[in-house]
Structure 1
């Protein structure tokens, strides 16, 4: 550390308190909690809950730092907090692999007596479950995945817990408001896919892989699941397939920014009809109406909607054909060069 480093606040052995592990813990954990928000919540409708899973994760990280530190090492324990997050540094390298830390089930404390001390106070997870608890708490908040770094040269372990969101809050709120329980029912991977699709106006497999630690196969299965449930719509060939929210489900981030720049007159008079951002059911109904009097080709329907033919084929024709609302002019040859579509309940032209 440079000699010009200045601390806004610190807990150190300055002679004003008994410098033992437990008192250090009680002082340090309160300082760490100051970096976390506490939403208003009641337990049993009576008692306020002042602790979140994130608080428990920070406490677990601090206890683990004290339990697994090598007290005969060359350096000391340091716990750092800044606006970007937390860093827990203890002398001594891991006694298990990083994968075992995050998966849990393996407990290999460097200081069993210290672990027992905190266990008497019901502090610290047992049976190696602390790592999964930290990982789960950070994932629920959509924060960057916790990172374990072994500094072999200095024989130190660094646990970094960043308060940096992987997902923009505005997009989280927009998707949650639009699909409700379907969003809450999704696991972390599903939520990342949905929110990123909103924030970036579509998402690809590689982008999800860069945001999560999920296996590529799991990402593929999750995207397919979201498509089956109607939460995402896929377009394009397999290698460059892009996934987007269904039109009308929720405004994209781009649409929101454009909408905020429009005058109230434009928004009320022309935006909905000329740009087509109506509810999806209304748009599908409009396609059926357009195709009622006569056969309509894909380019004609795309022009009427003001959308690309590929989008119309995937997001409009496919569901309407699937539910039997539209029929093909050449049903035995879907790729016929003169293929056209008509409402199923329309009378044959005379």
Structure 2
């Protein structure tokens, strides 16, 4: 935190990552409660030399700077006041001729929590809003459960009989999936031998015992409920928008799953398929029908994430999925050990339930190397919708994922961006749209939207700041300028309708297609409309069209848009461009030729010109 960032925070108010103390002559005793709270939650800045007066933060200054800093740091590093040594980052500032001390308290590792005072675990604190709250007994138990070296799901369930706990149909179903996907393994028909082989039954003191994961994944209903005296999942379909709904209103379809996890998964998919949209297409390689709903990848990954990562030791709260007309909310007891930014990294994450997750992975139902969240964001991006929202609440130890059924680029947004007179890439235009939607965005928000790394996200944000379309609040936080907020809010429906007439893309398949994503000013960039009888351009298709300069191989085209699955690339990106005669093969009579390449048709070149020179191509 630099000086300008500190001044910005002082003009706002204390919140979950920012706390101020007067501390002019002594370190206040309640400062250590804040240290405990920050360390147990998500970290934060503790500033000495600032007092609150009339609900405003005022600089009072620290009078004995060196003594207070040394006393505070030595206490944190002694391990006497707190049960763990706390390594902090300290800074000094001079503002208005007064001295301030700032200390960044990092979040402690999972296995070191809870951080507590005076040797008493009951004096553990968490950060909620602008306050430090003492942990309840349930909250303390959650910390202790997560801190255990032996994961909850791998421990034996000694009170449940090993020879009769499992549901035979579930085990048979799983074996069929497993051996189909892993033909190199010798088939083990006996259910007990199979579960023993994969450590869902273990040998202990010459006795065989089911593990908790074994019961939760494969158990009969009565044994699942004996181990878990609350539902695995509460599924609710609510046929109204989230804003119009109140908890007192009745749901339109509800099922409380109290079976084992795999039965829950199969039942959940069956319910989802009843209400999902089913487009029809053929795989160009196998000619098999493809009818997965367009949002199935996101739903699958979000639902499996909910089933494999929840805290099954928490018997007071149940996981839930609420399907509204405008969004779907996945809520889980148990926070993610990673940060929201780390969840977007394609790396292995620390797991709460490794045995449960491995069972899903062995049959191809869970992400590898931590790619599940990225797959959700990618699927939603391809659909042209407002990006998902994650709330990883480390204070309440809960996780929420929201999938919005709202297009990111509307006609109003398209007309607004067209009015700015600035040339933006498709990614920059999307970032701009998200800033309009949220008013404030972080680099993590941008990264989730464009699918890149922090460097690429920062480059997009920096360009928008340079064009005065975003204001930089700190190194990772940006806001939409007030004048642009007013300009967007004051766009009238008549102006939007009039402006949209000049922003049409016409193809032979449809008489008129309205692009739903724009690059601002002289560039247009349509996004995902449904591929099939209603043709639109996805962002990946736009990238191909705007970058074509000559014949290119399918490998080159896939690299441009970061795709690795050739079949899906053909189905979702390339084939629609071929069908609409925007792209053609160089060897059309040998479509499977190893020398096959692709180039723009005359119509494709015309559209490329229109995409590149929007206002000039009328």
Structure 2 CA distance for aligned equivalents of residues 10 and 208 of structure 1: 31
Structure 2 CA distance for aligned equivalents of residues 91 and 9 of structure 1: 22
RMSD in angstroms over aligned alpha carbons?
4.5
Structure 2 CA distance for aligned equivalents of residues 47 and 162 of structure 1: 31
- 1:21 is matched with 261
Q: How does 1:200-279 map to 2 (within 5 A)?
A: 207=436, 210=439, 213-214=445-446, 215=457, 217-221=459-463, 253-255=496-498
* Contact map agreement 2:344 2:374 (CA 8 A) in 1: yes
Q: 1:62-94 deviations in whole A, cap 9, x for unaligned?
A: 111111110011211111111112111111111
1:159 to 388, 401, 423: 401
Give the number of the structure with larger relative contact order, counting CA–CA contacts within 8 Å between residues 6 or more apart: 1
Q: How does 1:139-218 map to 2 (within 5 A)?
A: 139-152=381-394, 154-168=396-410, 189-190=427-428, 192=430, 207=436, 210=439, 213-214=445-446, 215=457, 217-218=459-460
Q: Specify the SS of the correspondent of 1:57.
A: helix
- 1:79 is matched with 321
Following TM superposition, the consecutive aligned residue runs of length 4 or more in structure 1 with deviations greater than 6 angstroms are 169-172, 222-225
* Contact map agreement 1:42 1:49 (CA 8 A) in 2: yes
- TM-score scaled by structure 2? 0.30
Structure 1 CA distance for aligned equivalents of residues 259 and 367 of structure 2: 24
Structure 2 CA distance for aligned equivalents of residues 125 and 187 of structure 1: 31
Q: 1:236-256 deviations in whole A, cap 9, x for unaligned?
A: xxxx99xxxxxxxxxx84425
- 1:55 is matched with 296
Matched, 1:39 2:279: yes
Structure 1 CA distance for aligned equivalents of residues 248 and 346 of structure 2: 40
208-217 or 94-103: bigger deviation: 208-217
35-44 or 132-141: bigger deviation: 35-44
- 1:116 is matched with 358
- 2:380 is matched with 138
Q: Is the helix fraction higher in 1 or 2?
A: 1
Matched, 1:65 2:65: no
1:107 CA displacement:
2.1
Q: 1:312-332 deviations in whole A, cap 9, x for unaligned?
A: xxx9xxx9xxxxxxxxxxxxx
- 2:255 is matched with 11
* Contact map agreement 2:277 2:294 (CA 8 A) in 1: no
Q: Specify the SS of the correspondent of 2:361.
A: helix
- TM-score scaled by structure 1? 0.51
* Contact map agreement 2:310 2:333 (CA 8 A) in 1: yes
Q: Specify the SS of the correspondent of 2:322.
A: strand
Structure 1 CA distance for aligned equivalents of residues 435 and 394 of structure 2: 32
Q: Is the strand fraction higher in 1 or 2?
A: 2
1:123 CA displacement:
0.5
* Contact map agreement 1:90 1:158 (CA 8 A) in 2: yes
1:128 CA displacement:
0.5
1:221 to 1:56, Cα distance in 2 relative to 1, 3 A? same
1:20 CA displacement:
0.8
- 1:346 is matched with none
- 2:336 is matched with 94
* Contact map agreement 1:118 1:124 (CA 8 A) in 2: yes
Q: Specify the SS of the correspondent of 2:379.
A: helix
* Contact map agreement 1:65 1:90 (CA 8 A) in 2: yes
* Contact map agreement 1:143 1:165 (CA 8 A) in 2: yes
* Contact map agreement 1:100 1:106 (CA 8 A) in 2: no
1:33 CA displacement:
4.2
- 1:234 is matched with none
1:216 CA displacement:
6.0
Q: 1:154-202 deviations in whole A, cap 9, x for unaligned?
A: 4321111111222127988xx9xxxxxxxxxx976255379x6xxxxxx
Structure 2 CA distance for aligned equivalents of residues 190 and 35 of structure 1: 34
Aligned residue pair count = 219
Structure 1 residue runs of 5 or longer lacking an equivalent are 176-185, 197-204, 226-239, 242-251, 260-314, 320-350
1:150 CA displacement:
3.2
Structure 2 CA distance for aligned equivalents of residues 154 and 106 of structure 1: 24
* Contact map agreement 1:189 1:222 (CA 8 A) in 2: no
